[in-house]
Structure 1
């Protein structure tokens, strides 16, 4: 047996030679990138015996995943709660084997810019270490998935919107049936031009009137540091309290404050809004006026919002809570109301009766943040303000008169 140590540059030089030299290719890596070495690998895909790559944290290049589509013996690894992290390169021809095991992934860094250390073993296939490596590779089989076009397209969508956000521990793949249906929905695959065209149709309301009201609300939140500083009439406008006397004499009569969800029938909520309950104000203040909103911000909002109903006959509900969220941050939240709940649930593949405030973030917000239209760059011109309110405008597409 011949043993040598390879750094990243040496590995980059060795892999193309070994790929060309041998008849059988085995590989298992946490992450992989497209590039010249990857091109050499794919040209020799007919030699694949077991090539498996991880997708954790969406760190594998979508272009590399695309190159594995429908390739026999090419897989991605997915096991919930587990990070796939091996780096094994094994090449076999007859009785001769070359095995490389170490720290280097099949990535730009692992094959060049990183400080890596790998052992290169050139030996007979009968050596015990080769049998052990083959056994390790075979042990991954229960959690391997072949790369279909559907899987590759969905992975590209999820990896493409990661940006500077915290990377998801594991992307959603077709094997995650319920969650994948949501990620693969037509709503999420819709591009910006289609989304804004559908929103502007607004068959039940008037799009420009919607926008005028949303613009007005944004001036309210920009004007004051705390929601508590707004007037009672302004609270009612944000909350969707549409009783004829709710905003009488305030100048708000010109706005359709019931659009995006009228909350007039929520008696306990209406009472808390009318007295400007401080817990409601603190809840809304938990949501930043601009910039990212974390799930922890939402959780704190929910905690304070629900606490405001401690002495009420009814508790706070998804429509009332999401109305407040959507009016403060229409770029991030959708008011789920009686008019859009069924259609939105169908679009995002969950049963309407199962949606509650405690799963609203996972069922609605997380999928929406993956949508192509949601992640499109801010346009110039007439659609720029609509883009700033794009999440709330989902109501314009999915609202139905009930």
Structure 2
């Protein structure tokens, strides 16, 4: 066993083993593109057996992500409930391997200026320790981001997060205590759950879209319209197909003239299956699917408490309509739209337009339905939710209007 007590020594040993090994497996929290080891790694990608790189806290360089995301033997990991934080390296030399465990990430700091400590252990490849370490590294592979998750939007969002973190770190390093206290106060004012009713209502009322200033009125009109439809007909399937499309949030020819504000609170226009189901003149029109969606929504009462059990029953009923697996699918936009339109006092629609701010506010990825429920419970603890002007037109819809605070297409920077 060898103790490596400075970053340069660690870097030298890693490079030495990389150049001479048969194959290399690793799992690290972060990788940046400013180290001698990374330069050597790019020249020896064919030696990588398994490589797992974390993206939590935006510590990995976006250039590394964009360079390596499509390599079949490298996976990128984003945790939901915790930070992916291992620093493990295994260099295989045939009948033995060098296993590194310690504090160093594959960053310019971890392999350069930081104070680090690592152990390098020589083990037989048929030893229990080797098998256990490799099994653990391999297990990380099954929780990495799938290929279809690497979209232009994903890369852009990650780069923005990375740059924001770099700016924050530099600001923190150069700030005195008074500046930090002031910044903390500013952040507290921007936390959704810390807003009082007056602050919340002012932000909601002043949301505007494309300079026409009508966002609040349009949102309010949609919620009033849907509330009246449910009161009149009781169930979605009892409404005309045109009225159903208002609630689904999709438009076919002539629908805009029929009702034009349906796009607020997360339109489902991008889900082609739904467009087909609700097109009564199209070949994919499906009365069975429409009734299944309606029956699922009926599980949620129009008034009173909605229990977690009712919520789970709703999820179980609505996901199969689009052949989604409720335990694996993360289509929050789909199931939260209907919840929000029927019960805007209890639910908010979550979608690509409000995802970045709400995930940052909540501190976790909300896409799995169980975490969505927890997020709603978290929002219900807000001061604006518990105490406010009950005569205000937004009060009865106050959870749905959280979308106004986080909506990226309206010209605002409230949060």
TM-score by length of 2: 0.47
Bigger Rg over Cα: 1
TM-score by length of 1: 0.49
